[in-house]
Chain A
Amino acid sequence: MNFNKMIQLKNDNYLKSNNIYKGAIGFVISSSGEYLDALFYNDNIKGDTAYIQVKKDDIQPYDLPVSKELMIYLKTQIKENNLDRKNYFKTLPFKQYDMVKLIVEKDKYAKLNIHKGDTGVVMEDYAVHDYILVDFGTIDGQMKYSKGCISVNIKDIELVNI
């Protein structure tokens, strides 16, 4: 296997408890015998990674050649910067168009007139570094619009069952 290419997980049977899904894309950090140390990228929460050991039989090349220089850069950054070596993916607790409620009062939301208890709708099916877009925009009885669509930390909201 060419370790300068991206890889894709084709078997997730023993990784489900780590929330790592079949089809996850990553690249190989090191290899030893029938196992590989690989870094996988969480498509649901961009910025989230999982560093796991997988069997070579459980991965396949992902047709996306990466230049040797870029691969060296990536691996060097990971080693030098002590990239988070947790062995699981975080799960995104919300789906697109879920209704959510803000459960904290923070200045960064309050200055936009969005307060604890306000409800909104999740606008995307992914988060970026734990922030997701939520539309709090509201029309009142006089057709006046208030609040707006902002990025919110997923820990600051909870699902509303309607």
Chain B
Amino acid sequence: MSILRNIKEISGNIVNTTWIEWVHPLIPNEPEILREAIRIAMAIKHCLICTRLDGCYFLESNMPELPLHPYCDCYKENISSDKLKNATAYCPISKFKDYIFTDEIKSKGKMYIFTSMGFSSDDSYTLSTEFERQALSCYLNGNYSLDFLDQNGQRIGIPITLNNHMFWSGWMVYPNGKIQLVTPFGGWIDEF
């Protein structure tokens, strides 16, 4: 039973519930304008990366290194599975309509990948919702890889499967369990 202790069903997904919230003192998770105001006020004495991570949720076994630097004020706080129920994945349709399906030059070859898999600009909404569905499931299961971390935030790679092809998609982690797509294609997981 012990290995199942931290496993629960949340929003239709079976998830490992040993999750934490990255906390930097004084910074609220929302609203965004207030977060920015405090981050700016703190910027001289506090690390931009740490303050950007505040409020973000990670699986405890798959999180940025803590502490990030000497004299880091950050700490991690266990969060309940109830908080994870509010987790969301957001994929703007424009990532497909205005980027992937523009032309080969602007998409830098990515349009060909998606058209080869049988998709077109007309599928932008479908792709967007499918990316959101798969990404949320992967995120809640801890099935993500930590990517770049800087003042813009923590990016994660999430595997997406479409028509039997697996590839990485790039997402940004935001507070309160929100992840948002940065780029729909970030490299192959299997050979095309």
A residues apposed to B, CB below 8 Å: 6, 25, 27, 41, 46-47, 49, 64, 66, 70, 73-74, 77-78, 81, 83, 96-97, 99, 119-121, 123-124, 128-129, 131-133, 135-140, 143, 145, 148-151, 162
Contact = CB atoms under 8 A, between A and B. Distances in A.
B31 A64 contact: yes
A35 B94 CA distance: 42
A74 B41 contact: yes
B187 interface: yes
Nearest to B113: A139
Contact of B110 (A27, A133, A137): A137
Interface residues of B, number: 42
B40 A149 contact: no
Contacts of B107: 121
Nearest to B109: A139
A82 to B, nearest CB: 8
B36 interface: yes
Shortest beta-carbon contacts, A-B, top 9: A139-B109, A77-B41, A145-B187, A81-B44, A143-B192, A151-B152, A138-B108, A149-B183, A135-B183
A11 to B, nearest CB: 20
Contacts of B148: 150-151
B42 interface: yes
A83 to B, nearest CB: 7
B4 interface: no
Contacts of B112: 139
B179 to A, nearest CB: 14
Contact of B38 (A74, A138, A140): A74
A143 B185 CA distance: 12
A128 B113 contact: no
